[in-house]
Homo-oligomer: A and B are copies of this chain.
Amino acid sequence: MNIGEVADRAGLPAKTIRYYEDIGLVKPPRDANGYRAFRESDLHKLAFLARARALGFSIEDCRVLVGLYQDDHRASADVKRVAEEHLTRIDEKIAQLQGMRDTLATLVHACHGDDRPDCPILKDLAEGR
């Protein structure tokens, strides 16, 4: 399989797949012409990576998860711990964004949005309440 087909089937840009090879996440063999010759197992791993990334796992988390996935003697507790830590980070992020959102929504609501210069948004930014 060439990179284009793998990209289509894994749902990743070819550029990203090359990058993943660069950082050692996949190691496809090469054809005589220098083209990457992906095996089914490479495709499978890339699809795994695509889904892990879609859940927001970092590349380093992905590396760990792939490692656990390939380890028949893994303990599910190790997987769970990685996922829980990631969940915590996501919750923190959401809380932070929610805070911004609330402040911003209040300010936007208070702003007339007309052709006059008076603006509670700028007022807040300038004075810090």
Copies in the complex: 2
Question: In the complex, what residues of B have CB within 8 A of residue A37's CB?
Answer: none
Q: Is the interface of A mostly helix, strand, loop or mixed?
A: helix
| Residues B83 and A107 in contact, CB atoms below 8 Å apart | yes
Which residues 72-89 in A have Cβ within 8 Å of B in the complex? 72-77, 79-81, 83-84, 86-87
| Residues A80 and B55 in contact, CB atoms below 8 Å apart | no
Residue from B56, B74, B86, B94 in contact with A119 in the complex, judged by beta carbons closer than 8 Å = B74
Residue from B52, B75, B114, B128 in contact with A76 in the complex, judged by beta carbons closer than 8 Å = B114
Kindly state the interface size class of chain A when it binds its partner.
Answer: 35 or more
With both chains docked as a complex, state the minimum distance between the C-beta of A123 and any C-beta of chain B, in angstroms.
10
A51 at the interface (CB under 8 A from B): yes
A104 to B80, CA, bound (A): 10
Residue from B52, B55, B100 in contact with A90 in the complex, judged by beta carbons closer than 8 Å = B100
* Closest partner residue, chain B, to A112 (CB atom): B76
A93 to B93, CA, bound (A): 10
What 7 pairs between A and B have smallest CB-CB spacing? Answer: A80-B113, A76-B119, A75-B115, A77-B113, A80-B111, A56-B100, A79-B119
